[in-house]
Amino acid sequence: YRRNFETDSIQMAIERITPKFLAPLAANAWFMSPPCQPYTRTGKMLDEKDARAKGLIHLIGLLGRMPSPPTYIFLENVLNFEKSRSRDLLIRQLTRLGYDFTEWLLTPLQFGIPNDRVRYFLTARRRAPSPSGEVSPPEWVSPPLDLRRDWPWSAQYGSIPPVGDYLEPEVDADAFRVPDTFVKKRRGFSETVLAKPTDTRTSCFTKAYGHHGLGAGAFVQTRGFDVSYVGCFKRMQSPEFFTPTEIARLHAFPIDGASPTPPPARPSAPARHAFAFPDTLSTVQRWRVLGNSMNVKVVGELMRCALFGSDEWGGAV
């Protein structure tokens, strides 16, 4: 964070935050991406009972104790969060405090990026208070789950560019070659696990990329295209890991001038903030932080929708 914003982040447990601590900050927006482990389908799914959910549950309660809650709230989490009790607690609080909100399940593919990373997003905006200074909450009725799965402006991005547009021109193949132990037990690979430069889809990258052979992200095949990669490993050319720079590009981070940028949702796009990894981070550490991150383009468009949206956004906030 300091490397890219030249500002030190506050290091403290979320559970220790109080209304008194937040008051002088006068933040009009909260941006939250709480730990996903309590909600992942491959985990124990302890939901709000998971210790890693304590921070989010604390913030939900904190909202009701603040004299001036933030105007905007943004939240990102994994697929399945929409079915959680944590989500229900958040929606109940937002409704009680007079927020309009929209829930989404979106993937970068809908934004012209060849990476399939379905995530839950919530965008919320608090209605203007009444003259008395209080917002009259509507009569509580448990809201149905009304997820928006389509991005209304996907068509403007045109065809999805190939994976090759995101690859670095010169990479040490030996340094990024996938170990045989990762793949020898596999009889074949799906098209999303092993991507060719001409493909327009890659699977989701996680923080375990480079450690786990399966389910942690796509590999790239840069040679041996005349051999079917659906066959056994012995008939394949050795696949390679995507480099951290390539994954950052697929996450739409402005990491270099070569990062492809889909057309903006508005005629004029603001200048992009540059992004760079600290030199002290190893390749594995860079993979890990990228796996824990999110797609910048998707989040940016959702923020634009919530902050500047109108009827043209189909009633979304």
Which of 26-40, 64-78, 255-269 is predicted least confidently?
A: 255-269
Over residues 244-263, mean pLDDT: 80
Percent of all residues in the chain with a pLDDT value above 70, rounded to a whole number: 79
Over residues 112-134, mean pLDDT: 83
pLDDT of residue 4: 87
With a cut of 50, say whether residue 189 has pLDDT above it: yes
Could you tell me the domains of the chain? 2-155 (3.40.50.150)
Q: How confident is the model at residue 136 (pLDDT cuts 50, 70, 90)?
A: very low
Annotated catalytic residues are 36
Statement: the pTM of the whole predicted model exceeds 0.75: yes
Which of 9-13, 117-121, 286-290 is predicted least confidently?
A: 9-13
Dihedral sign for Cα atoms in the order 195, 293, 37, 240 = positive
Over residues 283-295, mean pLDDT: 94
Q: Which residue has the higher pLDDT, 149 or 271?
A: 149
Over residues 42-46, mean pLDDT: 84
Q: Which residue has the higher pLDDT, 256 or 119?
A: 119
Over residues 104-130, mean pLDDT: 92
pLDDT of residue 170: 86
Over residues 206-216, mean pLDDT: 81
pLDDT of residue 137: 46
pLDDT of residue 215: 74
